């Protein structure tokens, strides 16, 4: 078992999601579901964190002293006071102008006085919902024979949580094994966190989630096992719901006892992971001239050594390295406009490098000084490079939506391009590479490509613009409409193992496993 989680044998799939139907009345939900088929325990304790005083040097950060309750149910019934969920209109989004806003244009909304987040009424113990009737999908069409690819070796459990976006290596793969058992997964706990698309991170037995309500962002700290609220902190932030439901999209990052968050409006905060006390804070737009992209800041920061790396989008300073303890600027570099993909640190040519996927393309950046050592141009409509690159040795996989497609690159070759096609268009959620294949969402369709050639092996519809991670040769999929699907990571074809309707509304956030 991971050393930083309670050794109870109850591994959980953590799901962070934006529920369109509850934006106004009750915000969004962060939901957790066990993957072992055991009965769900009793109701968890209410959210009642101890009083925590905000840092005096940052008076704009306030503590929300309301005490919303953790609601525990065995189903995912939509609240009675929910409003109808609007339909997602991809065509409208494609035709939208790329309206990058400056801080001056947004300062009025962002600097508004803090508002109290609506109190969530305590939920009564509800009877289990009627079992959801599931329909087995049609067999995947096999237009071409899939290659016989060797299965990846089984990797035993490792002492790691899920402390950052897409896991310890940001590749969307957990090295844990034995977590899946036959049967429908049972709900352990769920909590109201407001609107947003940020994923959940888990470290040292705690789960951290974010949401927005009444133009305030709130970061929540829960006990990962029980769902009991430990602390929460709020600060003013515009919902920024341009052609989507808004709320934070950059996922928190936990490192050395600190939780780093990055808001849609460019507010970069460092919180004490144990108490929620604010350590340091930067308003990237106001203090550094950083740009707010058309759909808000979505790029999740990365940490390595003593540095926190952030896509700030400042003029001729697209990337910034901060001292992770003090917030002091270590270096700034890069002339590109910002985009939306998360950053990551990886090893290349025997040294640590930062990978960025900005509006111009993918770059390998020296972590010591910000110098770009390798790059590949990749332009998309509206500068939307949103899916984090997948790096395996010298190979780099990139993918974007809006009809752009994907490419496999070799960073050490004179001609970097290995292959390119339009059979995998990751709109915002990245793919995973496993068993010699690439599994991911080609816009609204789950697809599988041969990693060596790019040839499409199979596709599966009826999942929408979902997300996925992988573990133990299985895909953990969250559909756009809130279905938790477990399937084999099989290049030969789509084989579904379980499907459970657990959430409602629009679900664009990647799951987490710990």
pLDDT single digits (tens) 360-387: 999 999 999 999 999 999 999 999 999 9
* Residue 56 CA from chain centroid, whole number: 31
Q: Is the pLDDT of residue 91 over 50?
A: no
In three-state secondary structure terms, 93 is: helix
What is the distance between the alpha carbons of residues 456 and 472, in angstroms, rounded to a whole number? 23
Residue 30 pLDDT more than 50?
no
**Average pLDDT over every residue of 227-255:** 92
Looking at residue 160, its pLDDT comes to: 53
Q: How far apart are the first and last CA of the chain?
A: 9
pLDDT band for position 345 (cuts 50, 70, 90): very high
Q: Which residue has the higher pLDDT, 324 or 61?
A: 324
Tell me the pLDDT band of 490, cut-offs 50, 70 and 90: very high
Q: Check: CB of residue 474 under 8 Å from CB of residue 497.
A: yes
Which of 301, 297, 269 shows the shortest CA–CA distance to 282?
Answer: 269
SS3 292: strand
Residue 295 pLDDT: 87
Is the model's pLDDT at 183 over the cut of 90?
no
How far is CA 456 from its chain centroid? 26
Encode pLDDT of 259-309 as tens digits: 999 999 999 999 999 999 999 999 998 998 888 888 889 999 999 999 999
Q: What is the mean pLDDT of the chain?
A: 76
pLDDT range class, residue 451, cuts 50, 70, 90? very high
Which residues does 299 contact at the CB level (< 8 Å), separation at least 6?
Answer: 250, 262, 310, 311, 338, 339, 340, 341, 342, 343
pLDDT at residue 111 above 60?
A: no
What SS3 state is found at 459? strand
Q: What's the pLDDT at 17?
A: 39
CB 437 within 8 A of CB 451: yes
Q: Looking at residue 11, what is its pLDDT?
A: 56
Are 438 and 449 in contact, with CB atoms under 8 Å apart? yes
- The pLDDT value given to residue 251: 97
Is residue 296 packed enough to be buried (19+ CB in 10 Å), middle (13-18) or exposed (0-12)?
buried
For residue 167, pLDDT beyond 90: yes
Residue of 459, 460, 441, 438 whose CA lies nearest to 450:
438
- Please tell me what DSSP assigns to residue 470: E
- Phi, psi torsion values for 353, nearest 5 degrees: -135, 155
For the segment 125-143, the average pLDDT, to the nearest whole number, is 35
Q: Pick from 11-25, 29-43, 238-252 the range whose average pLDDT is largest.
A: 238-252
Give the strands of the sheet with 467-471, arranged side by side: 173-174, 467-471, 474-478, 483-488, 496-501
């Amino acid at each position: 078992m991971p050393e930083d989680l309670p050794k109870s044998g109850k591994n959980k799939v953590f799901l962070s999601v934006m529920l369109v139907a509850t934006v106004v009345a009750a915000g969004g939900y962060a939901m957790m579901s066990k993957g072992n088929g055991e009965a769900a325990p009793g109701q968890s304790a209410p959210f009642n964190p101890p009083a925590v005083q905000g840092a005096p040097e940052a008076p704009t950060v306030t503590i929300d002293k309301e005490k919303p309750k953790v609601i525990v149910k065995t189903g995912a019934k939509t609240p009675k006071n929910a409003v109808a969920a609007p339909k997602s209109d991809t065509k409208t989004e494609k035709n939208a102008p790329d309206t990058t806003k400056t801080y001056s244009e947004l300062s009025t909304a962002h600097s508004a006085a803090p508002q109290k987040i609506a109190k969530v009424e305590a939920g009564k113990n509800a009877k289990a919902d009627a079992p959801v009737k599931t329909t087995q999908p049609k067999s995947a069409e096999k237009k071409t024979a899939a290659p016989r690819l060797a299965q990846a070796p089984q990797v035993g459990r490792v002492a790691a949580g899920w402390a950052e976006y897409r896991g310890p290596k940001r590749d969307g793969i957990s090295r844990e094994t034995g977590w899946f058992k036959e049967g429908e997964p049972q709900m352990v706990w769920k909590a109201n966190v407001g609107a947003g698309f940020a994923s959940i991170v888990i470290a040292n037995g705690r789960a951290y989630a974010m949401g927005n309500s009444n133009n305030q962002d709130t970061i929540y700290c829960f006990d990962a096992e029980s769902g009991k609220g430990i602390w929460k902190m709020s600060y003013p932030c515009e919902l920024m719901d341009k052609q989507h439901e808004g709320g934070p999209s950059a996922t928190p990052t936990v490192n050395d006892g600190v939780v780093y968050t990055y808001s849609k409006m460019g507010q970069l905060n460092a919180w004490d992971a144990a108490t929620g006390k604010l350590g340091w804070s930067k308003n990237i737009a106001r203090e550094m001239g950083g740009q707010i992209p058309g759909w808000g800041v979505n790029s999740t920061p990365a940490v390595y050594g003593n540095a926190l790396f952030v896509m700030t989008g400042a003029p001729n300073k697209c990337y910034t390295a901060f001292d992770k303890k003090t917030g002091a600027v270590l270096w700034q570099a890069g002339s590109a406009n910002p985009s939306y993909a998360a950053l990551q640190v990886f090893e290349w040519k025997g040294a640590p490098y930062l990978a960025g996927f900005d509006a111009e393309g993918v770059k390998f950046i020296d972590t010591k000084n910000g110098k770009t050592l390798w790059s590949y141009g990749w332009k998309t409509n509206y500068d939307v490079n949103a899916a984090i690159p997948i790096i395996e040795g010298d190979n780099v996989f990139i993918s974007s939506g809006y009809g752009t497609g994907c490419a496999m690159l070799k960073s050490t070759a004179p001609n970097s391009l290995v292959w390119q096609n339009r059979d995998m268009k990751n709109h915002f959620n990245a793919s995973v590479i496993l068993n010699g294949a690439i599994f991911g969402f080609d816009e609204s369709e789950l697809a599988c490509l041969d990693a060596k050639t790019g040839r499409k092996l199979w596709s599966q519809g009826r999942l929408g613009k979902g997300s996925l991670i992988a573990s133990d040769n299985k895909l953990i999929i969250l559909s756009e409409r809130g279905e938790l699907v477990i399937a084999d990571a099989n290049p030969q074809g789509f084989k579904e193992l379980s499907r459970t309707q657990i959430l409602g509304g629009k679900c664009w956030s990647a799951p987490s496993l710990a």
